[in-house]
């Protein structure tokens, strides 16, 4: 029988009362035993803006048990999709954003969608990317606190993105990540060419990076925390015992066991004390 743990909040209390569920533990969080985890329950919890964890057999007993943290960047660690914002510099954001959303929902092949979007960026000055980073890149709630807590506890932190090294390298330096992996935008004479350089970081590559890091560290499944938001993260998430999402897309929701709709990514610190 799975246990559901929710951070204490008025909406959580109201939801439990409405369903006449008996709370077995109270304090910073509320815990209840349920017959099964269902898609309907997950949707209800999203709708009330809850922060919750399903205490399944995979999940870590405490966040202090994590030895490896691997996270996506766009719409997970930060609030934007960088490629959409780059396209906005050329007045192409709506067109590119539609492709991005379809790819994240798993409706398009990631590589094809990425190459199609990158091609539309040809001619944009590289100097504009620095401006974009300063003015538009904002961390999602709780991101900095989560990384700082994990680093202080000795956890190896990896940023892996289907986005671009221009952004991951800067974020990694600012937040103290141990590694950062992403796609490389080709530039010539100070302008983006609309092409990528080197291997593409897709779903398989993300999973491979996590697997390699886990093997190097000797980290077991229950010692791994992974965070993501889209179809491109599913293979990576499947390798982690604790799978975290901030306001997840419907496609990703059944595949994660810690979800924050209100507090932020650092809710995992309270849910798994």
Name the residues annotated as catalytic.
72, 74
- Candidates 66, 12, 75; CA nearest to 44 is 12
Q: Are 141 and 265 in contact (CB under 8 A)?
A: yes
| DSSP H helices in 158-217 | 165-175, 203-217
**Contact yes or no for 228/237 (Cβ under 8 A):** yes
Per-residue burial over 204-214, b if 16 or more Cβ lie within 10 Å, else e, is ebbbbbbeebb
Determine the Cα–Cα distance for residues 169 and 184; give it in Å rounded to an integer: 11
- Distance, CA of 31 to CA of 24 (rounded, Å): 6
Cα–Cα distance, 24 to 147 (Å, whole number)? 31
Could you give the CA distance from residue 132 to residue 143 in angstroms, rounded to a whole number? 20
State the pairing for strand pair 156-164/179-188: parallel
Q: How far apart are CA 180 and CA 161, in angstroms?
A: 8
């Amino acid at each position: 029988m799975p246990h559901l743990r929710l951070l204490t909040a008025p909406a959580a209390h109201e939801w439990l009362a409405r369903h006449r569920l008996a709370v077995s533990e109270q304090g910073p969080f509320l815990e209840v035993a349920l017959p099964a985890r269902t898609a309907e329950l997950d949707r209800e919890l999203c709708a009330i803006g809850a922060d919750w964890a399903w205490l399944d057999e995979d999940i870590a007993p405490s966040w202090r048990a994590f030895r490896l943290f691997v996270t996506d960047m766009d719409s997970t660690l930060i609030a934007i999709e960088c490629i959409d914002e780059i396209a906005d510099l050329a007045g192409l954001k709506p067109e590119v954003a539609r492709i991005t959303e379809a790819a994240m929902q798993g409706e398009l092949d990631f590589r094809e969608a990425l190459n199609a979007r990158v091609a539309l960026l040809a001619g944009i000055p590289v100097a504009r990317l620095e401006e974009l980073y300063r003015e538009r890149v904002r961390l999602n709630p709780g991101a900095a606190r989560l990384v700082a807590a994990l680093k202080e506890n000795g956890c190896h932190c990896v940023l892996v993105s289907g986005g671009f090294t221009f952004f991951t390298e800067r974020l990694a330096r600012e937040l103290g990540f141990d590694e950062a992996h992403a796609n490389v935008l080709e530039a010539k004479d100070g302008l983006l060419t609309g092409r990528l350089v080197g291997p593409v970081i897709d779903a398989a590559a993300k999973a491979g990076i996590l697997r390699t890091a886990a093997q190097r560290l000797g980290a077991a499944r229950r010692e791994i925390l992974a965070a993501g938001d889209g179809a491109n993260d599913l293979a990576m998430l499947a390798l982690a015992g604790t799978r975290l999402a901030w306001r997840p897309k419907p496609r990703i929701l059944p595949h994660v066991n810690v979800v924050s709709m209100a507090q932020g990514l650092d809710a995992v610190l309270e849910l798994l004390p």
